[in-house]
Chain A
Amino acid sequence: MHPANPLTFEGLGVWIASLLTLFIFSFLYKDNPFYKLAEHLFVGISAGYYVMQEWWAVIYPQCVKPVAHGEHLLMIIPGVLGLFLFSRFIPKAGWLSRWSLAIIIGAYAGIKTTGFAQGDLVAQFQASILPLYVPGHLGASINNVLFLAGLLSTLVFFFFSTEHKGAIKGTAQLGVWFLMVSFGAAYGFTVMARVSLLIGRFQYLLDPWLGVTRF
């Protein structure tokens, strides 16, 4: 590969993206005007991009266009309710936004509750019913016993209706150990995620920008 040519349209884009990446990285040394410039550009362009996405992908094709053609006139109702959300900018009419929020909260509470009941509560409960002894599979048996011990002890840790002392304290303590292991695993995955983002930017700087490929 060759370095990006800033005199071409595509190459210029690569140069701008790469320089903005370096501007952002410069914050690791200390705050500076280049970082501020990149940060402000990011915020402004992102806001504009998302507004246009919402308009062209949702509001125009699903509300404005059909209503303008005299179709799906019921879409006027969500359209007006959406406009009500902006009434908060006018103090005297701000109460109108509560109607929209009431519908959003009510609908989403219903959707989330049924989804949680179907996807998490019932299915996860079923999945936690495991044989403690799997003939011929010692590893699976150990796994299932550990799983059950972790599940029960963690549930005991989060049971606050009785004082944690005696056997309950010991079980809750075991639950804490299982939680610590899960936090450690989550931390490890988080490190991997953040490092991946850094690698992605470095790959961009090395390949499309500088044209250095070594694999």
Chain B
Amino acid sequence: MTSLLVFLAILAAVALVVAFLIRIPSVATTLARMRRLDRRWIFLAVWVLVMVPLLFPLKLPVAPTARAMQYYEQIDRLKAGDIVLLSADFDPAAGPELVPMLKTSIMQLCRKKVRIVGDCLWPGGPPLLEQAFSEVARDTFHYRYGEDYVNLGFKEGREAVMLAMGNSIPGTFPSDFRGTPVSKLPLMGKVTNLRSVKLLVNVSAGYPGTKEWVQQTQSRFNLKIISGCTAVSAPEYYAYLQSGQLLGLLGGMAGAAEYEKMAGVTGAATKGMDAQSSVHLLVMLCILLGNLAHWAARRLGER
């Protein structure tokens, strides 16, 4: 509360100073001229602010939020041998945000010795899921394919696939990502439908994704769901978190970095957060200066 009041006081003081300065014609003219700034200067500034922290890390602190803690705790509560469904509903376009949380989720699941059934509702997802499984589950934790984890691959049908999985997962995915019939995979012998899984870990870039899983399966099949999603999607999913339909939420690279912090790893999200924070400061400055330029132009009678 104190920090909020201090922030508001600083904001009010800055506003007063700006209101005074903008009355000086030369200041107003300079500010108004900024409206004609070539946008490529802003691109260059973003380029520098991303590149420099990646080359010379500032190691700014990352503090896990309650949402990320809930996500972590839901996986932490699982017991060895439990089966979870890991739905990687994204494609390479959302990779920088979602691959870090996908890998960390698989890592935490493997640490808990939980068995993983992976699937994708986006056509571009299976290779990303396969790569994450190979790097983390197979190479690091020596998980055996077919016994400890499977990658069912992609299935078209969106919500229809979710509903079909509620009736029968092997019926919906008769073969896995590699074309092997699921009847030959021992793990799939223990999976009948969505009621067989303890938790749905959904890594989602949009439609179909977390929203549709919640709408179609959460209450219908009494499914526990946690979601790692792109930052763009996160505001929409907060309502599901508040209502208890989602039990944990990671939003974008910041959410992934918080999760990595809790899991004790320094992944791509943590490495990217310095650059993220630097560019956010630039965006805030641009918004402030843009508004001041507009304000100054109005004072000078420009359109």
A residues apposed to B, CB below 8 Å: 28-29, 49-50, 53-54, 56-58, 61-62, 107-108, 111-112, 115-116, 118-120, 123-124, 126-127, 182, 185-186, 189-193, 195-203, 206, 212, 214-215
Contact = CB atoms under 8 A, between A and B. Distances in A.
A193 B214 contact: no
B216 interface: yes
B40 A189 contact: no
B53 to A, nearest CB: 9
Contact of B159 (A54, A57, A112, A185): A112
Contacts of A126: 243
Nearest to A112: B159
- For chain B, the bracket of interface size reads 35 or more
21 contacts: A49-B123, A57-B123, A57-B126, A57-B155, A61-B174, A111-B160, A112-B215, A119-B216, A127-B242, A185-B235, A189-B251, A190-B231, A192-B254, A193-B97, A195-B50, A195-B276, A195-B279, A196-B96, A198-B279, A199-B54, A200-B96
Contacts, number: 144
Nearest to B161: A58
Contact of B54 (A53, A58, A214): A214
Q: Tell me what chain A mostly uses at the interface: helix, strand, loop, or mixed.
A: helix
Contact of A58 (B155, B235, B254): B155
A202 B94 CA distance: 14
Interface string B140-156: 00000000000001111
Contacts of A212: 55
Nearest to B1: A139
Interface stretch (B20-28, B188-196, B267-275): B267-275
Contacts of B50: 195, 198-199, 202
Contact of B40 (A29, A62, A115, A214): A29
B48 to A, nearest CB: 11
